[in-house]
Amino acid sequence: MKIAVVGATGLVGSVMLKVLAERNFPVSELIPVASAKSAGKEVDFKGKKYKVVTMHDAIAMKPDLALFSAGGNTSLQDAPRFAAIGTTVIDNSSAWRMDPSKKLVVPEVNAHVLTAQDKIIANPNCSTIQMVVVLKPLHDKYKIKRVVVSTYQSVTGTGVKAVEQLMNERKGITGPMAYAYPIDLNVIPQIDVFQDNGYTKEEMKMILETKKIMGDDSIRVTATTVRIPVMGGHSEAVNIEFEKDFDLTEVRSLLEAEEGIIVIDDPANLKYPMPKDAHNKDEVFVGRIRRDESQENTLNLWIVADNLRKGAATNAIQIAEHLMLKGLI
């Protein structure tokens, strides 16, 4: 399969190349794509060097599949150009996620919505992906009424500049700032820009995307998203109110039975998921499973995943794998 990776020199793009290689995705021809200033640079894939090309050149090469991770404006402009020549686009930006004509997909949750006619498919927000993977089996069994989520998100979610800011601060070096404030030894309760309702864009993404992916507008969601000085992945404290009561042993069994979920929940031995456990892994990790004793039919969970992998690159490639398996591309 002829595959274009748009944004191949970026943080998520480089992980996409790594995941494609690890999962032995059938790449017959790789087309790394980036901005004109990066054209001619080389990227490594399976021990071979590939020259980065421009968007114009990539479209002329008519790939079967294009994995986009180059920002919303690029996606809005160029994804339709690929789709027009028959290329299936899986886009990692927020550009198409809430477009009612586009599917927003986490394979473990709603891969069944995909058809051969879907030429632009949206990859959800990283923090939404890891949450809905866990919510799905619980919703099927107990029917979710309301979700309250607080996130603790890695600097890698912002990009290379944020990683450099954190590392510079740790070394006492003054350098470019990705954030309005220092991030080392600090917590910033803002991810993306503030909206008129006082929520950030990231928080509204989690609220709106969850409903769309779960296919249920009756689920009420509220979110607070926070940036913390870690690298390995995003963490979330999630409080879930159900219509039906639940048994904790059954909850654990439901989660353990799900492909793509690893339960680490042994507080007696101080066992619970942390970002360092999720780093470079494709699974979603769950722990701190307990009742909310302040309210009936309500559960508390702690969810951790590598935001560059399951939260971005891996999820996109899993969508592509599903499309291939079902003969949709």
Q: How far apart are CA 92 and CA 96, in angstroms?
A: 9
Do 110 and 180 belong to one domain?
no
CATH number of the CATH domain containing 13? 3.40.50.720
In this prediction, residue 36 carries a pLDDT of: 84
CATH number of the CATH domain containing 298? 3.30.360.10
pLDDT in tens, 18-30: 999 999 999 999 9
In this prediction, residue 239 carries a pLDDT of: 99
Select from 101, 99, 159, 102 the least CA-distant residue to 126. 159
Do 135 and 166 belong to one domain?
yes
Q: How far is CA 286 from CA 37, 75, 146, 252, 317, in A?
A: 42, 33, 19, 9, 22
- Name the residue with tokens 């927020």: 94
In this prediction, residue 27 carries a pLDDT of: 96
The token pair that represents 193 in the structure block: 């820009």
- Name the residue with tokens 């595959």: 3
Do 182 and 149 belong to one domain?
yes
CA atoms within 13 A on the CB side of 171: 9
What are the catalytic residues?
Answer: 126, 234
Domain around 42? 2-123+312-325
Q: Are 236 and 286 in contact (CB under 8 A)?
A: no
Do 202 and 299 belong to one domain?
yes
In this prediction, residue 38 carries a pLDDT of: 87
Q: How far apart are CA 66 and CA 63, in angstroms?
A: 7
Q: Quick one: three-class SS letters along 240-254? A: EEECCCCCHHHHHHH
Do 40 and 100 belong to one domain?
yes
- Name the residue with tokens 């992980």: 15
> Residue 84 forms beta bridges with which residues?
none
Kindly give, in sequence order, each residue whose CB lies less than 8 Å from that of residue 74, ignoring residues fewer than 6 positions away.
6, 7, 55, 68, 93
Q: How far is CA 195 from the centre of its chain?
A: 22
Select from 326, 327, 322, 283 the least CA-distant residue to 123. 322
Do 147 and 287 belong to one domain?
yes
Write down the pTM of the prediction. Answer: 0.96
Select from 146, 74, 31, 68 the least CA-distant residue to 312. 68
- For the chain, what is the domain count? 2
pLDDT tens-digit profile, the chain (329 residues): 999 999 999 989 999 999 999 999 999 999 999 988 888 899 999 999 999 999 999 999 999 999 999 989 999 999 999 999 999 999 999 999 999 999 999 999 999 999 999 999 999 999 999 999 999 999 999 999 999 999 999 999 999 999 999 999 999 999 999 999 999 999 999 999 999 999 999 999 999 999 999 999 999 999 999 999 999 899 999 999 999 999 999 999 999 999 999 999 999 999 999 999 999 999 999 999 999 999 999 999 999 999 999 999 999 999 999 999 999 99
Do 302 and 319 belong to one domain?
no
The token pair that represents 257 in the structure block: 């039975």
The token pair that represents 209 in the structure block: 């995307």
CA 98-99-102 angle, to 5 degrees, is 105
β strands within 134-199, DSSP E: 144-152
Find the DSSP H helices in 61-125.
72-84, 107-110
Burial (Cβ within 10 Å: 0-12, 13-18, ≥19) of residue 140: exposed
Do 223 and 195 belong to one domain?
yes
Tell me the DSSP string of 216-274: -TT-EEEEE--B-S-SS-EEEEEEEEESS---HHHHHHHHHTSTTEEE--BGGGTB---
Do 169 and 264 belong to one domain?
yes
Do 175 and 117 belong to one domain?
no
Positive or negative CA dihedral for 116, 119, 311, 167?
positive
Do 291 and 317 belong to one domain?
no
Do 80 and 226 belong to one domain?
no
